[in-house]
Homo-oligomer: A and B are copies of this chain.
């Protein structure tokens, strides 16, 4: 599969079969995320694999919300991954402060997408979720007060159809030598 085919094939999967996910496949996805680049090689991430069914179902309640009916699917996914922001290293933190930026969020986006693209290549489906009840989620997984969960990724064998991607045209997002 070319990279373009992989990118086009990946989608936010919101329906899953009940086929269990092989543990070694999840490890392969974390391995792809582990190799992601980051500002000053900070690697400001930690991955919690939630595969205990009871705990996973409780976790799914933190991502499901009356306001967001789109996310009612989460309890279908057999495994959830929670990505924790561990904070940047000294150099990147200095850069964050001097330049008023938060490089760790960019880094976490990159690592999360490595995870999802690797999953796609292995025939698995994923959905990144950034909207969840943070306090409940932290308490459920014993996440220290000062650490922040940034994303939950649902993973499993997908049961939804391929949807055509809706994206802005190239002309709308591209220019040469000036804004």
Contacts and interface: CB of A to CB of B under 8 A. Distances in A.
Interface size class of A (residues with CB under 8 A): 35 or more
Contacts of A17: none
A141 B176 CA distance: 9
Nearest to A50: B177
Given A48-B179, A105-B105, A179-B48, A99 B134 contact: yes
Contacts of A123: none
Contacts of A144: 179
Given A147-B179, A173-B47, A179-B147, A112 B121 contact: no
Given A7-B32, A43-B168, A179 B109 contact: no
Contacts of A77: none
Contacts of A12: 37
A166 interface: yes
Contacts of A25: none
Nearest to A33: B173
A110 interface: yes
Interface in A12-56: 12, 27-28, 30-32, 34-37, 39, 41, 43, 45-52, 55
A168 B41 CA distance: 10
22 contacts: A3-B3, A4-B31, A4-B32, A7-B114, A12-B37, A34-B173, A35-B167, A36-B113, A37-B128, A43-B168, A46-B175, A46-B179, A49-B176, A101-B150, A102-B105, A106-B106, A106-B108, A106-B130, A107-B109, A109-B109, A109-B113, A141-B178
